[in-house]
């Protein structure tokens, strides 16, 4: 079994975050959590004083964070489609459903108020279930052997 050498230091993880910007493969738990801690915790707290800088930071890091999360899912031998179970994916699906209902009411005069109320009542528990499930996915140890997404990074 061939293993890729990878240091789990914060510097190495942050460097790999930007080097493997949109790459495929696998990301270790430490790589994922170092990036989350540094970029969301430290940088986000400094940027929270300016909403313009925070939006700019969000736009710059959305693709790398999405790719990092997908690589983390690959490390646990899960498909990238599982990212739709994350809170952002659930909110995206909810937004698409609401847009569809809005267009249905606008174009065909179909009353959708009751459906929207039911969707919003279901949204909160579904959101929290997705938070718990996504935490389980990213906290699960990676495969120690090679899987269909590559060899482990130790």
pTM: 0.79
Distance CA 124, CA 16 (A): 35
Closest CA relative to residue 67, chosen from 126, 124, 17, 3: 17
- Cα-flanking dihedrals φ and ψ of residue 153, to 5°? -105, 110
Q: Read off the pLDDT of residues 63-105 as tens digits, 9 standing for 90 and up.
A: 899 999 999 999 999 999 999 999 888 888 888 898 999 999 9
Q: Read off the pLDDT of residues 123-149 as tens digits, 9 standing for 90 and up.
A: 889 889 999 999 999 999 999 999 999
Average pLDDT, the chain: 86
Do 117 and 110 meet the contact criterion of CB atoms below 8 Å apart?
no
Residues 6+ apart with CB under 8 A from 5: 154
**Residue 26 binned pLDDT confidence (cut-offs 50, 70, 90):** very high
pLDDT of residue 1: 47
């Amino acid at each position: 079994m061939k293993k890729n050498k990878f240091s789990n230091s914060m510097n190495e993880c942050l460097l790999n975050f930007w080097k493997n910007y949109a790459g495929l493969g696998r990301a270790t738990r430490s790589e994922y959590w170092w990036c989350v801690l540094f970029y969301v915790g430290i940088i986000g707290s400094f940027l929270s004083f300016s909403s313009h800088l925070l939006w700019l930071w969000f736009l710059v890091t959305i693709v790398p964070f999405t790719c990092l999360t997908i690589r983390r899912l690959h490390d646990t031998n899960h498909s990238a489609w599982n990212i739709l179970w994350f809170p952002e994916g659930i909110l995206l699906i909810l937004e698409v459903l609401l847009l569809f209902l809005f267009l249905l009411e606008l174009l065909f005069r179909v009353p959708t108020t009751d459906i929207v109320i039911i969707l919003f009542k279901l949204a909160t528990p579904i959101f929290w279930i997705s938070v718990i499930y996504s935490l389980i996915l990213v906290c699960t140890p990676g495969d120690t052997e090679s899987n269909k997404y590559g060899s482990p990074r130790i």
